[in-house]
Amino acid sequence: MKVRRAKLVCTLGPACDTEGGLGQLIEAGMDVARFNFSHGTHEEHGGRFERLRVASEAKKKPVAALQDLCGPKIRTGVFPARYQLPTGAEVTLVEGEESKDERVIPIQYEGLAGDVRVSDRILFDDGRIGLLVVGIEGDRVKATVTQGGEMRNHVGVHLPSKTMRVGALTEKDKEDLNFGLSLGVDYVALSFVRRAEDIALVREICNEWGRPVPIIAKIETPDAVENLESVIAASDGVMVARGDLGVEFPPERVPVIQRQILGVARRVRRPVIVATEMLQSMTKSPRPTRAEASDVANAVYSGTDALMLSGETATGDFPFVSAEMMSRIAMEAEGSPFYEPVPYATRATSVAEAIARGAVNTAKEIGAKYLVAFTESGSSAMNVSLARPHVPIIAFSPSPQARRVMALYWGVIPREMPQVNDTDRLVDWCSADLMGAGLAGPGERVVIVFGAPIGVRGTTNTIRVHVIR
């Protein structure tokens, strides 16, 4: 059986909003569904979440729900109409919601004049418009347009992140997080992380709810890059958010930072999602550019755990074709002679990690068909995944939530298992399940990792070689 190892994260939106559309997206390869809380109402996200669960059940495939919090996204106010802002023009930035003067740009950010400095660069609309601050007069910021373009209502504004006083978790984010936890999301992604303490705040809220949901740190600010190791270590996973990275840094730096993030994540053992504009042209075209195909393949070669589609599946004209194309490119890269997955971390630092490494080596030496993990929480499967085996990982768990969480793990195929506390009975059941699903045949070998006693979380301590019969 040919299995794609890198997982596929798809952003949901109007382009795939029905149960049928979500089912098609799952068939095309979606492993994780991203709910972008920068857009949409709670009612819209709630309905979408219910439809996802129904579609996932119908397709008999666990799909994780990832809530992506908006973060401190600053936007312009409202203008009478769209207009062209010419390069070289002198403009004034003010706090506010509305302006009738094209040379006065309202910014929805309290304390604007106190948080910028002369010579700061301010960018609009993902860097399409650029300004240089030339003076500050009271509560008004004087600037020169260095890169002109079309100005319109509520475009994103990028202020120098080092001087911004707003925290990574806004009041809107707190309301959205409470709503997401009430729904039962499987992951939470925090935008505009700057330091490890930002992650700790989200974790505290999740724990207060009694739902210790894994937290994904989105790396998109200079502070996060400076504090990279501590931020990633404080998280349960990391997203290379290349959109805002490309605004905060020169474009030529972004590929270097991407490799840097992957390297640190490998050292501290956290899964990585590479995101933003991977197949951007497919929002309007049924085929990607050659550069986009290479971008996806290079992310796979670099060792990413997951790849993400944004507008391609949320609002694009070809959502299912985009997901299928992403899956095909990843599988082609993984099947090539140039693909050499490298284990995360250079040496094991715990018994569970050592067991995972040993299982991977054993599977290679005996020619096993699969690595099998019996797991309550998914941690055994993650350890095996990070050890990067050459064979697929079948992860059995009695917990629906654990199976959904494992949907993000590289190379892992989550499957349901009964609550059985006898190891021999469980191994016999595993044989029957693999043969019944057509995954394995008599005489084939599998290497099994589990904790003894069975059913106790965090006790992975056993490797067992089993011949299917």
Return the active site residues: 34, 75, 218, 276
**Cα 124 to Cα 105: distance, rounded to the nearest angstrom:** 11
Please state, in angstroms and rounded to a whole number, the distance separating the CA atoms of residues 363 and 318.
Answer: 40
For residue 100, CA distances in Å to 82, 97, 106, 216 come to 11, 11, 10, 41
Task: Provide the H-helix boundaries in 15-106.
Answer: 19-28, 42-59
Do residues 37 and 69 lie in contact, with contact meaning Cβ atoms separated by under 8 Å?
A: yes
- Token look-up 């790849």 returns 307
- Tokens, residue 284: 């309007």
Query: What is the C-alpha separation between 63 and 446, in angstroms, rounded?
Result: 25
DSSP 8-state symbol, 452:
S
Q: Is the peptide bond before 453 cis (omega within 30 degrees of 0)?
A: yes
CA dihedral of 112, 115, 121, 123, whole degrees rounded to 10: -40
- Phi/psi of residue 287, nearest 5 degrees: -130, 145
349-373 exposure pattern, b = at least 16 Cβ within 10 A, e = fewer: eeebbbbbbebbebbeeeebbbbbb
- Among residues 101, 103, 38, 45, which one has the least CA distance to residue 74? 38
Nearest Cα neighbor of 155 from 56, 268, 77, 249 is 77
Q: Residue 136 in contact with residue 95, Cβ under 8 Å?
A: no
Q: How many residues does the chain have?
A: 469
Task: Give the CA angle between residues 215, 217, 373 to the nearest 5°.
Answer: 50
The pairs formed by 77-83 with CB atoms below 8 angstroms and a separation of 24 or more are 77/105, 77/106, 77/107, 77/108, 77/153, 77/154, 78/106, 78/153, 78/154, 79/151, 79/152, 79/153, 82/150, 82/151, 82/152, 82/153, 83/150, 83/151
E strand intervals along 138-271: 140-147, 149-151, 156-158, 187-190, 215-219, 237-241
**Beta partners for residue 219, in sequence order:** 240
